[in-house]
Chain A
Amino acid sequence: MRIAVCLSRLPDPETVEVDPFTGAIDLSRTLYVLNPADAAALELALRLRSDGDSVTALTVGPLEAEQVLRDALAVGVDHVLRIWEEGRTTTRPAVTSLLLATALRTEGLPDLVVCGSRSLSGGSGKVPAFIAEYLDWPVVTDILHFSLSNGRVRFRRRLPRGARSEGEVTLPAVLAVEAGTAPLRYAGLPGLMQAKRATIAHRQLPELGLSPMDLNFPSSTAHAAMPPYPRPREMFIPDSSLPPEERVAQIMSAGVAQKAGRIVDGSPEEMADAILAFLQEHGFVAGPA
């Protein structure tokens, strides 16, 4: 089985110093680290690897970003690849994912792509979803743990308020792992020294069959789904015409009414439309831009 892990290098938040007057970041004091969620993804990928499997680490970034790939090599990744268009300074998540997805395609599609769930810097969490979109694969986000059985990935996801959910997904798939789920192993000395000396493979746009124009697509519109501003809760006022015991019963039952759920049926498009309509109606999502 071939596993690909997407890594990113970002400024260590502890070393980011902001001038209180100008708001400028003092870049000379900034150190760069491997994104913690990516480190967890890398560790889980390495744990999954058995004989005959291979793990490839990819990153999108300038020459300095090689460091995360060297870190990956040191802990035992088989292949590494850096993707970058010289002259660029940053990439938006959509561009990063396009580059990653294209590189995965040209280098031979893996069976499984593992990413960090979100970066500490931008933190949009879009990259795994975009990669899945470009590859037309399923994506599972917020993963705490996963294992393989019979060509399917069993996973456990983190839900809000401490809840967990478990499920299965068929390969190939994109998995987005939460930060802190697995501490990255400590590199052995031979690996570390080898990694330091390794030449890191590098792909530019033409080698990926892309032109700079391909990266200039109009900015995507993301609809953020956030809990709406809490509306004042209506106080239940019992009907004053009723006898006291019934009013008490009414008060007692008022808070425990069952939450009503609705299951939508139909084709995927219809279901998506129904969900979107519901979210808009209840104020979770602003109307279409």
Chain B
Amino acid sequence: MTATNGSEHFDVIVVGAGPAGSAAALLAARAGLKVILIERGEYPGAKNVSGAVFYGSTILNQLIPEWWEQAPVERHVCRRELVLMSPTTSVSLDFRSAAEGYVRPPYNGFTVLRPKFDRWFADQAEAAGAFLLTSTVVDDLLWDGPQVVGVKTRRDDGDIRGDVVIACDGVNSWLARKAGLQRELRTHELSLGVKEVIGLDESLIRQRFQLAGDEGMALEYVGAVTEAVHGGAFLYTNRNSLSLGVLAQLSSLVEHKKRPYDLLETFKAHPAVAPLVRGGTLREYSAHLIPESGWNMMPALFADGLMVAGDAAAFCLATGIYIEGINYAMQSGLAAAEAAILACRRKEFSRYTLSHYMEALRQRNVLTDFQAYRHAPGFVNGERLQNLYPQLAALGGEALFRVDGNRKQKLLPLYWRTLRQVGAKPRHVLQDLYQVARAYLW
């Protein structure tokens, strides 16, 4: 038995064993650093929630070649559907591809069950030499003047000292706030996601979603699913279960006095969703906050001896087209590890050395993506996109496809009439077109 004690010194302390934390620990440990990975859950993944589609297959493939062979993945996503909804109708854009990148290794994305996946990923970090400490809550940082020199855990003699602390402690990052890097979050920047995992027979899933083998599908919904509340919903196929949930902006939940689980029930009862989940049995229920504002709520990412990564740094890209977080979490964890490795080589842990983190984030296209789409979250959570346009699409579709013996109108007058019917002003439509262009086109 090696003689150790609580004041043992580590090169890198990673707080939180999610995708960001485990990635950081894995890379730092491989570089020969002495790494401790601290997790508050009983095991890594016990407290982690997301949709969850993991779009970072190629990133992970560079770390662990052929990772999908050994990791607990569910299905590879080769079918995506964006659905606009009114209370009775749905209009969707269905994407399905058998192109190389979607159905062959390394694949584009996988549905995963986070408790299994995160546990596996943390095991990889442990195998690389990181010391994994579970069931331990980190309460505070240890300071030496302006320099972070460790963390304080909620156990007796619970101080752990280290040169660099990487805070991957999730959306409500305690450490980022303690260090003064993050302000109090505002309710319009956060969404509350409630999620159910519904068990369903494997063959039934293949039939219902028209999938073969391990193919998977990701559906995302906008419109009447969340009633007047701003938000959306998702439905992902796992091996023998479905993950489905509703995301709702916190401020708008409060404003409309809605409960998220009621929205989830409404969603499951929608005529476009009910046939997909029929006959399933509820396996899990979970809820989580999502830092949806991305760029606009990003904290200062580093201080002397401290870096922030993953959800704690608001690396969650929710733009409507992209709903990604795990891949950015991993990327940011890796970037933080790179900066930590550099700092440990130079034996210099000030903010000047750690500013390499920003550079690494840019190289890994994290900051660039968030900067490019910085206008999207505001637009996606706008009133008209949330309720008016889905309604418009649904009514337009209803008018377009109805055959009742009346004179058929050409498309432009038909849509003009629908536009008037839902009370959309042409001025607003033009405004929104500009918004879309600004958010997505250039």
Q: Which residues of A contact B (CB under 8 A)?
A: 28, 31, 186-190, 192-194, 196-199
Contacts and interface: CB of A to CB of B under 8 A. Distances in A.
B8 interface: yes
B153 A189 contact: yes
Contacts of B409: none
Contacts of A193: 4, 6, 8, 131, 133
Given A189-B136, A192-B136, A192-B155, A198 B8 contact: no
Contacts of B94: none
A197 to B, nearest CB: 6
B133 A190 contact: no
B120 to A, nearest CB: 12
A197 B4 contact: yes
- The 7 nearest A-B residue pairs measured at CB: A188-B156, A190-B6, A189-B155, A189-B158, A189-B6, A190-B5, A198-B1
Given A31-B42, A186-B155, A187-B155, A192 B133 contact: yes
B6, B116, B136, B159 — which one has the most chain A CB atoms within 10 A of its CB?
B6
B207 interface: no
Interface string B226-256: 0000000000000000000000000000000
Interface string B189-205: 00000000000000000
B117 to A, nearest CB: 13
A190 B116 CA distance: 28
Contacts of B156: 186, 188-189
Interface of B: 1-2, 4-6, 8, 42-43, 116, 131-133, 136, 153, 155-160
A28 B241 CA distance: 14
21 contacts: A28-B116, A188-B155, A188-B156, A189-B136, A189-B153, A189-B155, A189-B156, A189-B160, A190-B4, A190-B5, A190-B6, A192-B133, A193-B8, A193-B131, A193-B133, A194-B1, A194-B2, A197-B2, A197-B131, A198-B1, A199-B1
B157 A189 contact: yes
Contacts of A198: 1
Contacts of A188: 6, 155-158
Q: Most chain-B Cβ atoms within 10 A of its Cβ — which of A31, A186, A188?
A: A188
A199 B2 CA distance: 9
Contacts of A199: 1
Contacts of B5: 190, 194
A192 B131 CA distance: 12
Contacts of B133: 192-193, 196
A197 B133 CA distance: 11
Nearest to B36: A193
Given A196-B133, A197-B131, 7 more contacts: A31-B42, A186-B155, A188-B6, A192-B136, A192-B155, A194-B5, A197-B4
A281 to B, nearest CB: 51
Contacts of B159: 189
Contacts of B8: 193
A4 to B, nearest CB: 20
Contacts of B116: 28
A193 B8 CA distance: 10
B237 to A, nearest CB: 18
Contact of A194 (B4, B136, B153, B155): B4
Nearest to A12: B42
Given A189-B6, A190-B6, A192-B133, A197 B157 contact: no
A186 B159 CA distance: 16
B44 to A, nearest CB: 13
Given A189-B160, A192-B133, A192-B155, A197 B6 contact: no
A166 to B, nearest CB: 34
Nearest to B159: A189
A163 to B, nearest CB: 37
Nearest to A197: B2
Contacts of B158: 188-189
Nearest to A33: B42
A31 B160 CA distance: 28
A197 B132 CA distance: 10
Contacts of B43: 31
Nearest to B281: A20
Contacts of A28: 116
Contacts of A197: 1-2, 4, 131
A33 B155 CA distance: 20
A197 B129 CA distance: 12
B129 to A, nearest CB: 12
A193 B43 CA distance: 15
B2 A190 contact: no
Given A188-B6, A188-B158, A196 B42 contact: no
A31 B159 CA distance: 29
Nearest to A17: B283
Contacts of B4: 190, 193-194, 197
Contacts of A189: 6, 136, 153, 155-160
A186 B42 CA distance: 14
A193 B1 CA distance: 11
Contacts of B136: 189, 192
A151 to B, nearest CB: 33
A189 B153 CA distance: 8
Nearest to A20: B281
Nearest to B72: A28
A198 B158 CA distance: 19
B240 to A, nearest CB: 10
B2 to A, nearest CB: 6
A31 B156 CA distance: 26
A40 B41 CA distance: 23
A174 B150 CA distance: 46
A82 to B, nearest CB: 15
A80 to B, nearest CB: 11
A265 B163 CA distance: 75
A250 B291 CA distance: 81
B6 A196 contact: no
A253 to B, nearest CB: 60
A14 to B, nearest CB: 12
Nearest to B5: A190
A190 B136 CA distance: 12
Among A189, A194, A196, A199, max chain B CB count under 10 A is at A189
Contacts of B160: 189
